[in-house]
Structure 1
Amino acid sequence: MKKNFMYTLLLMLCSFSIFNAQTTEDKKEISIAVTDILKGFQTKNGDIMNQYVNPTYGVGVLFKSGGDLGFVLNEDVNLNMSLGYIQKVWNIRNQSPIQFDTAFEYDLNNKKWKKEGLSVQFNSNAVNAYANKFLSQYSVKDQKIFKINSNPKNVVFVTLAENSKENAPINGFRFVMTKIDGKWFLTFIDVTEHDAE
């Protein structure tokens, strides 16, 4: 009986170690990718960001216009792509360390983040939540870019929450990364905090 207990305990410890090793590896890969993506956006260097764009799925930009959710799908990140009024004043400092599994909330009324920082949320259901908010005439859930994000275990949601008086209401940067064939890719850029109207 004592022997069985020891084997069970040993098996549990080994399983836990393997799980932690995978999570540690994911954190390492994501940390590098997040740093690169933010650096690419900060320096307006699309080439840095595009090394994280999957050529099969591309990258979607989620936005709001007149209160309605919309998105455009691009083959890659082109920093000359139309982000309308946002593009002219959008700058980031990117000086915060990564905090895993911390959420930052945006105050739409005051057009600023309640707390600043850089957050990476594992097991994110963000893309499914977006898909549910589209008007019924848009069948976004059938599109490949949404389908690959349907399993939250393969999705992380990154938020760089920064408040800037001179750039308000354009503060920070949000994006989604998805694990595809064992590698993390940039799949969505989220500009939904900033309604065009």
Structure 2
Amino acid sequence: MKKNFIYTLLFLFCSFSVFNAQTAEDKKEISIAVTDILKGFQTKNGDLMNKYMNPTYGIGILYKSGGDLGFVLNEEVDLNRSLGYIEKTWNIRNQFPIQFDTTFEYDAKNQKWKKEGLSVQFNSNAVNAYADKFLPQYSVKDQEIFKINSSPKNVVFVTLAENSKEKAPINGFRFVMTKIEGKWFLTFIDVTEYDAE
């Protein structure tokens, strides 16, 4: 009985160590990717962002029009084209260190973040939450880009919460990364805080 207890503890300890090692590796990979993606957006370097694109799934741009949620699927990030209904990319400062599992709240009425910072949320259910907000006639859950994001354990939601000094369509930058076949990819850009109408 005592041996079984010791073996059980040893098994749990080893399992926990492996889990932590994977999390540490994921944090390292995500940190590098988030830094590159934000730098790419800040410097209008689509190539830097596209190195995190999965050619099979592309990238979804989530936006709002007249209060309704919509999305377009692109093969790559092209900063010369509009993002949803946003005609041009906006400026970000990108000055904050990454905070893991912190959330920042957006004040839609005043169109600004209540607190600024850079958040990376592991195990995010963000894409499923978006899918639930689409009008019933749009079967987005059947589309591959949504299917690969259906398991929160493979989804990271990134929020750069910063308020622009000048008038801008959007403050900060939000996007989703998804682990596909062991590698993290940029799968969604969220511009839903700007309503086209």
- For 1:156, what is the secondary structure of its paired residue? strand
Alignment partner, residue 92 of structure 1: 92
Identity among equivalent positions (%) equals 85
> Is 1:89–1:167's contact at 8 Å kept on the other side of the alignment?
no
> Is 1:112–1:168's contact at 8 Å kept on the other side of the alignment?
no
- For 2:149, what is the secondary structure of its paired residue? coil
Alignment partner, residue 152 of structure 2: 152
CA drift of 1:5 comes to 2.9
Given residue 9 of structure 1, which amino acid in structure 2 is its aligned partner?
A: L
Aligned residues: 197
Alignment partner, residue 184 of structure 1: 184
Listed as ranges, the matches of 1:1-197 within 5 Å are 1-83=1-83, 86-88=86-88, 90-168=90-168, 170-197=170-197
Structure-1-length-normalised TM-score:
0.95
Where structure 2 has 5 or more consecutive residues not aligned to the other structure, the ranges are none
- For 1:120, what is the secondary structure of its paired residue? strand
Distance of 2:58 and 2:169 partners within structure 1 = 28
Could you give the per-residue CA deviations for residues 64-90 of structure 1, whole angstroms, max 9, x where no partner exists? Answer: 011111000000000012137745471
Distance of 2:71 and 2:84 partners within structure 1 = 13
Tell me whether 14-23 or 78-87 shows the greater mean CA deviation: 78-87
Distance of 1:164 and 1:125 partners within structure 2 = 27
Given residue 13 of structure 1, which amino acid in structure 2 is its aligned partner?
A: F
Where structure 1 has 5 or more consecutive residues not aligned to the other structure, the ranges are none
Distance of 1:29 and 1:175 partners within structure 2 = 16
Structure-2-length-normalised TM-score:
0.95
